[in-house]
Structure 1
């Protein structure tokens, strides 16, 4: 089980550390079953600076203050969550359909929604049928909010943002999370679903792999005494 590192002497208030805490699942997944090296109550990096800079540029297009603020704001407003939630409204009634019925449903989407939405509906339906996929979840907005916290946190660690510039985004993120979800568990489950749906097209990795990575991280976050999700009430 993954454990989490903390500063010897706290630098920030409990509310500020709570605003950083959504990023902890990203750190736990990246730790891949090992202990998280970065302190979960600070902005330090969890890997070599040059590797992190390359990752932020390649994966997020973040290279400076302006791009960090732009990406953080875009994720806060919902980069994938609203789109995913809209498609889920269409397809959830069809998860239990037979394969023939599901194919007919997907074909019925083509005239009004086009090929891209119909294809995504097929990927999502396949992912939602996985036995390890959580069946009870709320809005996938958590997928955006976790990534926002990670991007902003990492941007401070790289020197693109100051902590003072980061807190408004981080605080807004955790406040919105608490409006959408009743607990860390619900928040984490929604993140795991959103991440798996994003991976369901197989372009980056598979929904199965995504769940295999996120579920152990969630278990650690919800049960390990060193976890910020355990130490800090929702």
Structure 2
């Protein structure tokens, strides 16, 4: 792969770079010093097998809690949607209403970008730790790229989905009756505004060089991954 193709893959985790002043948008290793990235404290990962086990959960992350809500919003008539909402408990209703309000920004892909982007961060961090090599990282990134392009049609929708997913995750600890109000407040939450502001300020030129449909000449699946398969 040439350098720009690799940068396209690393851009999947660009929102995580925006959150870390010591990270680099184009570095295969996310940042350049282990002290600036902690995957043990946040993820409980200290070994290659643990990393690969975590990657296997990529399709079963936070997005699964909203996938059906986005699907129903796309297919339901207004009257059908209202009837559906009335059958839900308060927590599920907050989930579905969030989907209805954000569908225009991220589409039927929902917040899968939140899960995809975080896996990209893990892969880049794993190269820094020496748990995987660059070829393994690129191939695994390629599997995430396929998912991203299947569910989203532009960097804008992908990045929107990541930010919405981050807001969703941030609110999960709230009580059922507080969820809707907390979602309303997320536009002013510092963790949200930092991502949006820094991506616009620091990564605008980068994304301008990386068309969403850029051809990606990915490496063959490395034999070193053994039985690990990620379709």
TM-score (structure 1 length as normaliser): 0.67
Tell me the SS of whatever aligns to 1:137. Answer: helix
Separation of aligned partners in 2, 1:82 and 1:128: 12
Aligned residues: 199
Alignment root-mean-square deviation, CA: 3.6
The partner residue of 2:170 within 173, 193, 199 is 199
Quote the residue 1:66 is aligned against: 49
Q: CA offsets, 1:56-103, max 9 Å, x none?
A: 12322221111112212321x342223321134457899x99xxx89x
The gaps in structure 2 that reach 5 residues or longer are 213-231
Q: Give, in angstroms, the shift of residue 202 of structure 1.
A: 3.4
Residues 90 and 183 (structure 1), Cα distance of their counterparts in 2 relative to 1, 3 Å cut: closer
Quote the residue 1:171 is aligned against: 142
**1:160 and 2:131 matched:** yes
**1:19 and 2:12 matched:** no
Q: Give, in angstroms, the shift of residue 20 of structure 1.
A: 0.9
TM-score (structure 2 length as normaliser): 0.68
Q: CA offsets, 1:169-190, max 9 Å, x none?
A: 1112123212221111011111
The gaps in structure 1 that reach 5 residues or longer are 1-10, 110-117
Residues 93 and 124 (structure 1), Cα distance of their counterparts in 2 relative to 1, 3 Å cut: farther
Tell me the SS of whatever aligns to 1:160. Answer: coil
- Answer whether contact 2:16 2:121 (CA < 8 A) is retained: yes
Separation of aligned partners in 2, 1:129 and 1:214: 19
How does 1:103-182 map onto structure 2 within 5 Å?
Answer: 105=85, 108-109=87-88, 118=89, 120-124=91-95, 127=98, 135-138=104-107, 139=109, 140-182=111-153
